């Protein structure tokens, strides 16, 4: 099969962001320094402001700690250390994590006035020379964290749908295209479905636009419950798409059929006005190079579903 860790991670990243995890009080900072006294001093400063702390005594341990703790947001690193120095650590970190996901702050007591430039050139977000005033330390740290949070928020908003909180069209196309390109190298196709609410216009006409919105939100929640392993996105209006990364084509068809039946049965529980509605679904498995080409086939199947009387899955 064609499960990929990247796709799951990308989706879970968005899902985690959507759930709006508590912020600063649980940020973890990694302190990398060969001097136990400096590690303890920085740990004390960080604990005083309720940061979680991980420590390492050289760059190699630092990389291991980054693997061990997935919640590290900022690395504060010394340069001169045995085994792997801070500049090397910084450039290794940048091979895996961008400076928008993980901040690196270099810290050193060296007389070398190029040290700050060396850190920054190798991907550090900031630099502090020792000795420093605790206030400067806290200010730089919190500004870096605020920047990371601002970027995460903007990225989240750019990738999710405001009404339903589902991933949006942009996110769907970008992440599925990435997956598709990987699958093509192994001559594997992908399964995509297009789902459209039947006679949605009549819901708006009969119950009002707010009730229509309520239906869309209720359906989005039902999608999330039913397809925890797939990527479900709102493409626009009352149209949704699903990318099945972890299922065979047969399984995907079966899941969609079950879902169609469940929505027919339970849709009145989704909205305040107990509105019953049904879905038409087009699904396909294709080995093509572009997401929009595959989605076009699913859309043709969806059209056939509408033509043949709606409330049906066409494969
Ligand atoms: P069909 O069974 O052929 O799909 O018919 P339909 O009425 O569902 O399809 P049509 O494309 O005619 O109408 C879709 C309607 O969805 C029209 C549009 O006003 C409404 N719509 C699009 N986006 C939203 C939204 O965010 N909220 C609400 N309430 N309505 C929306
Ligand atoms: Mg992180
Ligand atoms: Mg040192
Ligand atoms: Mg439509
Ligand atoms: Mg419709």
208 lines ligand 1 (CB under 6 A): no
Query: Beta partners for 236?
Result: 239
Q: pLDDT tens per residue, the chain (315 residues)?
A: 333 445 445 555 565 554 444 455 578 999 999 999 999 999 999 999 999 999 999 999 999 999 999 889 999 999 999 999 999 999 999 999 999 999 999 999 999 999 999 999 999 999 999 999 999 999 999 999 999 989 988 888 899 999 999 999 999 999 999 999 988 888 889 999 999 999 999 999 999 999 999 999 999 999 999 998 899 999 999 999 999 988 999 999 999 999 999 999 999 999 999 999 999 999 999 999 999 999 999 999 999 999 999 999 999
Judge contact between 45 and 90, C-beta under 8 A: no
Judge contact between 124 and 106, C-beta under 8 A: yes
45 lines ligand 1 (CB under 6 A): no
Q: How far is the CA of 205 from the centre of ligand 5 (A)?
A: 13
User: What gap in Å lies between CA 85 and CA 61, rounded to an integer?
Assistant: 11
Nearest CA to ligand 1 atom 25: 237
Residues 6+ apart with CB under 8 A from 243: 172, 175, 176, 179, 190, 191, 192, 230, 231, 233
303 lines ligand 1 (CB under 6 A): no
237 lines ligand 1 (CB under 6 A): yes
Identify which of 162, 201, 273 to mutate to test ligand 1's pocket (most ligand atoms within 8 A of the CB). Answer: 201
Please give the pLDDT value at position 152. Answer: 86
Please give the pLDDT value at position 8. Answer: 47
What is the atom index within ligand 1 of the atom nearest the CA of 212? 29
213 lines ligand 1 (CB under 6 A): yes
User: What gap in Å lies between CA 284 and CA 256, rounded to an integer?
Assistant: 12
Please give the pLDDT value at position 2. Answer: 37
Identify which of 200, 213, 272, 276 to mutate to test ligand 1's pocket (most ligand atoms within 8 A of the CB). Answer: 200
What is the atom index within ligand 1 of the atom nearest the CA of 209? 29
Q: How far is the CA of 296 from the centre of ligand 4 (A)?
A: 14
Q: Looking at this predicted complex, what is its ipTM?
A: 0.94
Measured between its terminal Cα atoms, the distance across the chain in Å is 20
Nearest CA to ligand 1 atom 31: 237
Q: How far is the CA of 271 from the centre of ligand 5 (A)?
A: 17
Q: How far is the CA of 28 from the centre of ligand 2 (A)?
A: 8
Q: How far is the CA of 70 from the centre of ligand 2 (A)?
A: 6
């Amino acid at each position: 099969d064609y499960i990929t860790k990247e796709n799951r991670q990308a989706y879970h990243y968005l899902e985690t962001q959507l759930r709006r995890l508590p912020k600063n009080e649980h940020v973890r900072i990694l302190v990398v320094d060969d001097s136990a006294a400096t590690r303890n001093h920085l740990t004390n400063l960080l604990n005083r402001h309720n940061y979680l702390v991980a420590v390492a005594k050289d760059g190699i341990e630092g990389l291991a700690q980054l693997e061990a703790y997935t919640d590290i947001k900022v690395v504060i690193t010394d340069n001169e250390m045995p085994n792997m120095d801070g500049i090397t650590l910084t450039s290794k970190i940048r091979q895996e994590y961008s400076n928008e996901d993980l901040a690196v702050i270099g810290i050193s007591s060296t007389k070398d006035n190029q040290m700050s430039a060396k850190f920054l050139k190798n991907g550090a977000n900031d630099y502090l020379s020792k000795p420093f005033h605790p206030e400067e330390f806290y200010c730089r740290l919190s500004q870096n964290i605020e920047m990371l949070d601002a970027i995460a928020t903007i990225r989240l908003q750019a990738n999710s749908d405001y009404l339903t909180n589902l991933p949006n069209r942009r996110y769907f196309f970008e992440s599925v295209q990435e997956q598709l390109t990987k699958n093509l190298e192994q001559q594997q196709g992908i399964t995509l479905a297009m789902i459209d609410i039947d006679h949605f216009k009549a819901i708006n006409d009969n119950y009002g636009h707010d009730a229509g919105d309520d239906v869309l939100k209720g359906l989005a929640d039902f999608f999330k419950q039913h397809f925890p392993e797939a990527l479900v996105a709102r493409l626009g209006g009352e149209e949704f798409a699903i990318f099945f990364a972890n299922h065979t084509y047969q399984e995907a068809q079966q899941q969609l059929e079950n879902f169609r039946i469940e929505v027919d049965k339970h849709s009145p529980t989704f909205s305040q006005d107990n509105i019953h509605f049904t879905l038409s679904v087009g699904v396909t498995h294709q080995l093509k190079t572009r997401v929009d080409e595959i989605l076009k086939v699913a859309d043709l199947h969806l059209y056939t579903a509408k033509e043949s009387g709606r409330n049906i899955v066409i494969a």
